């Protein structure tokens, strides 16, 4: 089974599914493999028609069951120097080098290699495969998949998201929300600031309000929070605007992010900033220049995976892996989107997140072996 998984992984890595490009070739490859096993297939395209999700099912046609999920896209190679072709598997020192090997085509390859065995053994509950697009740029494909599942009235009971965790069982992570807020004022000479609307100054006021909210969030810690730090965080990543000393800057923008430990914190921050802009900043800007604007672009809003006291997926994975402990991670995944549908969800997959997104990304062979062992035991529970 290991050699077959390596072969499939080599095929998957050869598809250059960088988020900016199409993933259709890889999706069709996966669909053909699952079709050969008798799976029922649902391919849903994005608006451009160049990307798609694949949702496939083995076993009885009924609600519930288990879904094995992974994203098909990978991050770009920009400014990275590789020692081998990133889209050709290079096996050396018990490691499989290639873009996406650990994040997260290794897990996908293992599920596809196991698919014929799953097909033979599945009986009482369905087994689903969910392969999405554009996880790396805001979990766009998973949001689309959520809509598709609701429309088709197909909601699995449990979900295993195969992100690289070194096969540790992860039952929680913070959300990750990224925004760009743009300010458009009125250019003028620096000697008459009252005749212009300085976008940089209003961007600075916006950032000051964000920092006030950051302090407030530290007083809103859920009693059960296991995160480190336990509160929701805010970060200002960049401020851009203006060119020279003596010109009133007509445009500016702020890149900022929020990592909520609970959805209510995300709503609190968004409402507070919307109110501050609409009731305070924008009226002051438009008093001088009626066409002044403040607009916020949502780069991505990734829902967190909230730890719960009861989690059937966690219980199942503990039996399959023999691990009693669970953990939290700092990186975001699609898990919270599945959880929002009412599923019990864990993140567990081969490889280390420390290898993801880097030059010479690799997946250790022993990690792939552990993953196959877990899936082998899963097949006996179907």
Catalytic residues: 73, 135
Residues 296 and 345: their CA atoms lie apart, in Å, by: 31
Q: Is 306 exposed, middle or buried (0-12, 13-18, 19+ CB in 10 A)?
A: buried
Q: Is 81 exposed, middle or buried (0-12, 13-18, 19+ CB in 10 A)?
A: exposed
DSSP assignment letter at 104: I
Residue 188 CA to residue 198 CA, distance in Å, equals 9
Q: Is the dihedral of CA 33, 36, 42, 47 positive or negative?
A: positive
Query: Closest Cα to residue 341, out of 48, 34, 24, 69?
Result: 69
Residues 6 or more apart in contact with residue 290 via CB below 8 angstroms: none
| CA separation, residue 13 to residues 6, 17, 86 (Å) | 10, 8, 8
Report yes or no: 333 and 305 within 8 Å, Cβ to Cβ. yes
């Amino acid at each position: 089974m290991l050699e077959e998984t390596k072969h499939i992984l080599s095929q998957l890595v050869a598809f250059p599914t960088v988020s900016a490009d199409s993933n259709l070739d890889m999706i069709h490859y996966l669909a053909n493999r699952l079709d050969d096993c008798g799976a029922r297939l649902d391919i849903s395209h994005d608006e451009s028609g160049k990307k798609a999700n694949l949702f496939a099912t083995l076993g009885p046609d009924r609600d519930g069951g288990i879904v094995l999920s992974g994203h098909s896209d990978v991050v770009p190679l920009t400014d990275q120097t590789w020692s081998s072709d990133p889209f050709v598997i290079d096996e050396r020192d018990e490691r499989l080098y290639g873009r996406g090997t650990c994040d997260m085509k290794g897990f996908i390859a293992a599920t596809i290699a196991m698919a014929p065995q799953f097909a033979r053994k599945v009986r009482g509950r369905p087994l689903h495969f969910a392969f999405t697009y554009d996880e790396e740029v805001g979990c766009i494909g998973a949001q689309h998949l959520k809509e598709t599942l609701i429309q088709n009235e197909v909601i699995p009971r449990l979900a295993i998201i195969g992100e690289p965790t070194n096969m540790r069982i992860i039952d929680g992570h913070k959300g990750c929300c990224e925004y760009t807020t743009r300010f458009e004022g009125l250019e003028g000479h620096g000697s008459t600031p009252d005749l212009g609307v300085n976008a940089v100054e209003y961007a600075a006021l916006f950032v000051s309000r964000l920092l006030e909210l950051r302090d407030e969030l530290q007083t809103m810690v859920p009693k059960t929070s296991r995160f480190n730090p336990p509160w929701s965080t805010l970060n200002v990543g960049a401020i851009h605007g203006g060119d020279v000393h003596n010109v009133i800057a007509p445009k500016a923008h702020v890149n900022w992010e929020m990592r909520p430990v609970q959805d209510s914190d995300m709503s609190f921050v968004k409402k507070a900033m919307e109110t501050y802009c609409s009731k305070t900043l924008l009226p002051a800007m438009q008093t001088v220049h009626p066409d002044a604007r403040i607009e916020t672009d949502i780069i991505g809003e990734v829902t967190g995976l909230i730890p719960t006291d009861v989690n059937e997926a966690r219980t199942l994975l503990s039996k399959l892996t023999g691990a009693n402990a669970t953990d939290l991670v700092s990186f975001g995944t699609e898990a919270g989107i599945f959880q929002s549908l009412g599923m019990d969800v864990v993140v567990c997959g081969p490889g280390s997140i420390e290898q993801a997104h880097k030059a010479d990304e690799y997946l250790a062979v022993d990690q792939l072996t552990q993953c196959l062992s877990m899936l082998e035991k899963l097949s006996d529970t179907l």
